[in-house]
Amino acid sequence: MTPPDRYARQRLFAPFGGGGQAKLAAARVTLIGCGALGTHLAQHLVRAGVGRLRICDRDFVELNNLQRQVLFDEDDVRRNLPKAAAAAAKLARVNGEVSVEPRIVDVNPSNVEALIADADLVLDGTDNFETRFLLNDACLKLKKPWVYGGCVGADGMVLAVLPGKTPCFRCFVPDAPEPGSVATCDTAGVLGPAVGVVASLQSAEALKLLTGHPEALADGLITVDVWGNRQHIFRMARLDSCPACGQGRYDFLSGTAAGAATTLCGRNAVQVTPAGEAKVDLEGLEKRLAGVGTVKRNEYLLKLDADGFEVTVFPDGRAIVKGTDDPSRARAIYAKYVGS
């Protein structure tokens, strides 16, 4: 009796076929970030039969993740599990043919190249601009294709980057936005269906690349609004003026454009300093954070109390995160509430 083929429906899709399935089974993918987008991405690839998946994430599962982070449940919250470990455990029960490697790690300039060096493709499941610029630099340097995805509210964006062939992320977004100037899912919310749409588009681009069909990629930045029922592709050529792919300057990978986090001795607090010069509109930030926690502002600073943390933000973008002495945790809190 012929054993059942779990990929039978996928093989029937003509552009995919048996050859595509074999290429997928031989592929190695590194996923950076395993939150809302990352859990969807990981599930799509494991169910499709990717050979090896490395999941990199620094965070742990919280109750408010469950609305949109599809690999987690209440037991993961009770057990205070790291997201990478919880995701790997779930995925092992989905498809035992796939090798899933959880890495509980803060992705930064010192380790990003090692995490993606053996990958055929890198997927973005992160939630902040600084890490995306870092991924862009590292993938360009190592000539690794990667797929960006972002989602806030009901809006999302997707971009597949092929080093040396397509515009890179920095062609579309030359510099990181000023801290506090861009909404995050923790200040503007996010719809679960919007996350699903964006991650599905990312996964489709990933499958095209992994099965040898780059000609089927969207030729630009995909934008979607699931509430307003809109979708568009922004097309542009590679820019010679782009610091990264045009000039070969990897500012975020070298650390010259990266922010800093310094533990404040004896205070259970970390000072987070954004990259370069920044200017925060404290009044505008106060409005965005009004529904998140208790917010107080004067002409010198803004103070937010939320989720057991006290975040003090200064006009120059610097912040003191009280409630942790872990720099990576402080950066995550900063990205969550202030942005990056």
| Contact indicator for 76, 89 with CB cutoff of 8 Å | no
| b/e code 299-319 from CB counts within 10 Å (16+ = b) | eebbbbebeebebbbbeebbb
SS3 325: coil
Specify the pLDDT at position 64: 87
Determine the Cα–Cα distance for residues 50 and 48; give it in Å rounded to an integer: 6
Note the pLDDT of residue 50.
98
Q: What is the pLDDT of residue 30?
A: 98
CA dihedral 197, 202, 204, 206 (to 10 degrees): -160
- Does the pTM exceed 0.85? no
The architecture (CATH level 2) of 8-253 comes to 3-Layer(aba) Sandwich (3.40)
For the chain, domain boundaries: 8-253, 259-337
* Helix-strand-coil split of the chain, %, nearest 5: 35, 25, 45
> Hey, what CATH class is 259-337 in?
alpha beta
- Catalytic site includes residue 171: no
- Please list the rounded mean pLDDT of every run of 10 residues in the chain (340 residues): 79 90 97 97 98 91 92 92 93 97 88 97 91 96 98 96 97 82 80 97 98 96 97 94 95 78 70 77 92 87 90 86 89 86
Kindly name the residue from 168, 185, 242, 245 that is annotated as catalytic: 185
Determine the length of the chain. 340
Residue 215 DSSP label: G
Q: Which pLDDT value is given to residue 214?
A: 96
